[in-house]
Amino acid sequence: MRLRKSIAALFAAAVAPVLIATAGPAAASEDVDTSGTPVAEADTLISDADRVETMVVGGRDATQDYPFIATLIRPDGSLGCSGSLIDEEWVVTAAHCVYGGRADGNSLRVGSINGHEGGTVVDFTEIVIHPDYDDSEVTRIDMDIALLRLESPVPDAQPITLQARRPADDQYGLLLGWGQQCAEPGGCGQADILQELDVLIDNRLGCESGFNSETELCHVAAHGTGPCYGDSGGPVLAERSGFTYLAGLTARMGYPGVDGASPICGQGVTIATDVSAHYSWIQSHIRV
């Protein structure tokens, strides 16, 4: 699985002015899990003119299968948040997607880039929310991560790899999601086909909205593009040593709206839960 570097030149020009140069790369610990999905041969670089103008906002239809991708399916058949299969019986997503009964009656579709067909549809029997998450307290929204135990193992499961070391600053990644397809809050529906979006991961980008650099990642896409409402919980993928791994979970926009209104998508940086910061917590549940 190869992560695209197609907008490296674009980011170099568009993102560099907002970098905070005084911060250095995050300290790295040893990887606990270095196995994972092998990276294919390098893709041909894609020019700006070749980018598909579909939305995440501003992404493209998935260019390959993602056997670990998951989406919540509401009782009426509409799509909820996204998630990632990390074990044949466990999916990880954002806590705010399932907190306070918000996922009651939902099921999961795993392994299909079409949110309405294919893959494996399975119920989940347990929701494990990080004990330090509480969306009623602004100072604690950074622990935005939850685990869903599946009712039965996914056949021929191909989970995404986890690592215990966060991505370095100034690293490219790939965001996936089925979120709203236009920038204005509530202005349109979600995608039917999974969307991809190239992002730059760098905690010096100036994320706001209660950003915690110890447990979260800050990333940005090309101007006018970015995750939107409905992309929550979806994966932010990165590469290390030739393997693709789950670096983050889309959590919230990293900039405020105007005059207290909800932010308009694609206008700035985005915050993702740093999966490596919760590696031990995840392992303590899925390995019992």
Residues 150 and 74: their CA atoms lie apart, in Å, by 16
Q: Are residues 69 and 183 in contact, defined by beta-carbon separation less than 8 angstroms?
A: no
Q: Are 39 and 239 in contact (CB under 8 A)?
A: yes
Among 142, 144, 202, 274, the one annotated catalytic: 144
Q: Which of 232, 274, 276, 278 is catalytic?
A: 232
Cα(238)–Cα(224) distance, rounded to whole angstroms?
Answer: 22
218, 201 Cβ separation under 8 angstroms: yes
Q: Is 144 a catalytic residue?
A: yes
The answer to whether residues 285 and 128 touch, using CB atoms and an 8 Å cutoff, is yes
Rounded CA separation 235/233 (Å): 7
Q: Which of 96, 130, 219, 278 is catalytic?
A: 96
96 is catalytic: yes
Q: Which residue has the tokens 């250095």?
A: 24
Q: How far apart are CA 234 and CA 85, in angstroms?
A: 11
Report the half-sphere exposure of 177 (CA within 13 A, side-chain side): 36
Question: Is 50 a residue of the active site?
Answer: no
Residues taking part in catalysis: 96, 144, 232
